[in-house]
Structure 1
Amino acid sequence: MQLEPGERATLEGADGQGAAMAMRVVTGLARASGAERLVEIASVHIDGCLYHGQAGVDFAERLVELGARTTVPTTLNVGSLDLLHPGMVRTESETEKDVAAGGRRLATAYEALGARPTWTCAPYQADVRPARGEHIAWAESNAIVFANSVLGARTDRYGDFLDVCAAVTGRAPYAGLHLDENRRGEVVLDCRGLGAGVLELDLAYPLLGYLAGEIAGTANPVFVGLPPGVSEDRLKALGAAAASAGGVALFHVVGTTPEAPTLDAALHDRPPEHTEVVTPERLASARRELSTAEGDRLDAVSVGTPHASLDELRALADELADGPRIHTGVAMYASTGRTVLERARQHGIAEVLQDAGVRLVVDTCTYVTSILDPSTRVVMTNSGKWAHYAPANLGVDVVLASLSECVASARAGRVVLDDGLLR
């Protein structure tokens, strides 16, 4: 692997011991991934903000101790606390207290390094929008797949420790999805038989993502037959589910995403490795697979994973604007980023949601921290990602539903589904 003179100088300590430590990590990963050189990056999104143990805190604090600072714009993923709403995350048990304390130390360390306290898994909803073809080092699975697929920026799959080291050095290994040849579509999902009615449903997109993850694994799927101009929010839901169910870091939607004006362009003028026809029956089966609950019991509803956009909060407010409040036996949560929440307040959307009984969560998410009541057993969500992870993370059963079904169920105090929705 070849290093530029400035990169070699950083590695040898010219920019301080903190930068040298970070460069050792970056170059070590580069060698392991077979990179021939490093690439200069324009921004970083740090995933390792949730407290998972002492090692994460030690690593961040050691960089601070050694004088490291971020050298490119750097945003922070969700953490272990809702810093704007004290008491939202439970801190009653010793374990919960340890997580809260560790989360605060991580937050302090990352801010000391120069990262922006965005605390969102959807930095692309703030003022961070890398340009097409721009090299970045983003971590967090949904942020990675959105940046690659919807924005056309270039990031490989990065995670804890490498993300902050890339922020300090301004470099990442020139490998993986930074390279043209690795961005080729490999598996085609033919959605032309689904029909306009199904493809108008918000529920269709997390289900398509779930199927893409199951079918493609870590390959790059290409969707054919989706309507032109699919919204970013629906592409976000698709990508998040695909990244969770399989490990997809890049997908193409022919006629919509930047690198897929045509099917041939998405496939780099080569035949696909595999083609799968997606039918309404496949989508209905996917919903059943993601819905682990039986009966009509409902304890909570959680939307906003990845973090809800302003348009998604507006859609929820519109659903709740007329009609009864949320049932007293159901807790309804909407997770979002603090910048989006501020806009929602300015537009009067937050007030509508809170008046209806929605609990607004920022800086974290309900499937990774102690927010739900310990007695919660059945939760409804419109997120494929939430439905995929929550049963193991929280020990709850899940019902995957459309936004309309989420609201109807929250009001009724029980699971209310439209069984003919995907026909």
Structure 2
Amino acid sequence: MAVTLTPDEQAMLDGRHGPGTAMAMRVVVGLARVRGAERLVEIGSAHIDGCLYHGQVGLDFAERLRDLGARVTVPTTLNVGSLDLLHPGLVRGDTPEERETRDNGRALMDAYVALGARPTWTCAPYQLDARPGLGEHVAWAESNAIAFCNSVLGARTDRYGDFLDICAAVTGRAPLAGLHTDAARLGDVLVDCTRVPEHVLRLDLTMPLLGYLVGSLVGTRNPVLLGLPANVGEDGLKAFGAAAASSGGVAMFHVVGVTPEAPDVDSAFGPNGPTAQVTITSDDLGRARRELTTAARSRLDVVSVGTPHASVDEIASLATLLMDGPPIDPHVDFYVSTGRSVLAEAKRLGHVRTLEESGIRIVVDTCTYVTSVLRPDARVAMTNSGKWAHYAPGNLGIDVVIASLAECVESARAGKVLVDDDLLR
């Protein structure tokens, strides 16, 4: 399909803004043709997911753009990389593969900074000081960030991944297709949560389990959730979206009476109405917990929370749980992953001191399920994240227990898995 370009867009494609911009515009126009877009749309910001080193091609692409003189033209944030630059000894570099990831990972992170992006190194750019507004077109990558951007902020981004995201940032353009359009943002599947007791809906464990369950049921369709508390909060919505994007491919969801494009059911679905309906019960949530829990032993080696990156409120909740009671078992490593800006605010509020005095290790710039942070002999890990629980067994070869934050703390103190089987009833 032919893509109609403005004179300025044609100039970028023709190389009149430099070879780096021309390279990026070729990618954007190529994607537009594949997506069936008739034109491009100007974007207000971008979030780049390609900062993790997965192989030489990713580094070559970023350095090629840099060497050709490309620079981002819109505010651009960076996702997690392969290193914790504030704590350089945290990521292991013992094996040749780990050393390659360390060295090339640093080069990749440097290349994106050289392109003009802001070195935020967070998978939760919505926790930063500038967020896109309702209806604003952006080019965000990273699955949980995409879901949050579309659903909670009401800004508009399609599913962008490595290479596409930085090309949109350089050109300031994205194809007018997919979730940039009104029709693609309407709901598809009604998810009725009214049969789940209110006290269960308010548990911090419920939203990641619900997200995992819904994602596995709807795939890439847009779910519309009915019956969630009006004050569910951004941390709960973050946990839901991250899990739903992991078990399925959810990039847009609506919570009736909560998210900005779903003041009521009819608004969420538009003229067509739902194509399917599912009902969720407490038993379903319990089943989701059992599916995500792969550990069959009671010994605990690691606790990892903060995937997506922990917010100030989540760090405060953890600090509160740690104030009273016995210390963390010395055989259990406890990690909290967060972003630099959140870490600075948590330090100012005194929460970080509480965590560090309790033996908690703080990770920034990366995440524990994608880099070599956990000790090699760790076999059983506990997390409160549906996303971490979904990916860690395959990525790390480790068994996982998904639990509430309070269960994570209690288990870390005991040095063994302690969960309440009646929690979701």
- Shorter chain as denominator, the TM-score bin is over 0.9
**What corresponds to 1:129 in structure 2?**
131
Work out the CA distance in 2 between the residues paired with 1:376 and 1:277: 38
Q: Report the secondary structure of 2:411's partner residue.
A: helix
**What corresponds to 1:48 in structure 2?**
50
Q: Report the secondary structure of 1:288's partner residue.
A: helix
**What corresponds to 1:329 in structure 2?**
331
**What corresponds to 1:289 in structure 2?**
291
Q: Deviations over 1:65-122 (max 9, x none)?
A: 1100100000000000000002000011111110011111111111111000000000
Work out the CA distance in 1 between the residues paired with 2:87 and 2:130: 24
Shift of 1:322: 0.8
Work out the CA distance in 1 between the residues paired with 2:130 and 2:190: 30
**What corresponds to 1:234 in structure 2?**
236
Q: Is the 8 A contact 2:121 2:365 kept in 1?
A: yes
TM-score by length of 2: 0.99
Q: Is the 8 A contact 2:49 2:141 kept in 1?
A: yes
Work out the CA distance in 2 between the residues paired with 1:298 and 1:269: 51
The within-5 A match list for 1:268-417 is: 268-417=270-419
Q: Deviations over 1:166-188 (max 9, x none)?
A: 01000001000000000010001
Q: Deviations over 1:272-307 (max 9, x none)?
A: 111100000000000000000012111000000000
Q: Report the secondary structure of 2:400's partner residue.
A: strand
Work out the CA distance in 1 between the residues paired with 2:5 and 2:191: 40
* 1:145 and 2:147 correspond: yes
Q: Is the 8 A contact 1:122 1:307 kept in 2?
A: yes
Work out the CA distance in 2 between the residues paired with 1:270 and 1:191: 21
Identity %: 66
Shift of 1:270: 2.6
* 1:76 and 2:75 correspond: no
Q: Deviations over 1:172-210 (max 9, x none)?
A: 010000000000100011000101110110000001101
Q: Deviations over 1:291-342 (max 9, x none)?
A: 0001211100000000000000000000101111110110000000011001
Q: Which runs of 4+ in 1 moved over 6 A?
A: none
Shift of 1:251: 0.2
Q: Is the 8 A contact 1:237 1:384 kept in 2?
A: yes
**What corresponds to 1:199 in structure 2?**
201
The within-5 A match list for 1:231-270 is: 231-270=233-272
Work out the CA distance in 1 between the residues paired with 2:288 and 2:128: 32
* 1:5 and 2:7 correspond: yes
**What corresponds to 2:219 in structure 1?**
217
2:123 corresponds to which letter in structure 1?
Answer: C
Work out the CA distance in 1 between the residues paired with 2:420 and 2:5: 58
**What corresponds to 2:107 in structure 1?**
105
**What corresponds to 2:177 in structure 1?**
175
Q: Report the secondary structure of 1:333's partner residue.
A: strand
2:4 corresponds to which letter in structure 1?
Answer: Q
Work out the CA distance in 2 between the residues paired with 1:210 and 1:345: 32
Q: Is the 8 A contact 2:202 2:232 kept in 1?
A: no
TM-score by length of 1: 0.99
The within-5 A match list for 1:25-64 is: 25-64=27-66
Shift of 1:269: 3.3
Of 1, 4, 17, the match for 2:19: 17
Work out the CA distance in 2 between the residues paired with 1:249 and 1:210: 13
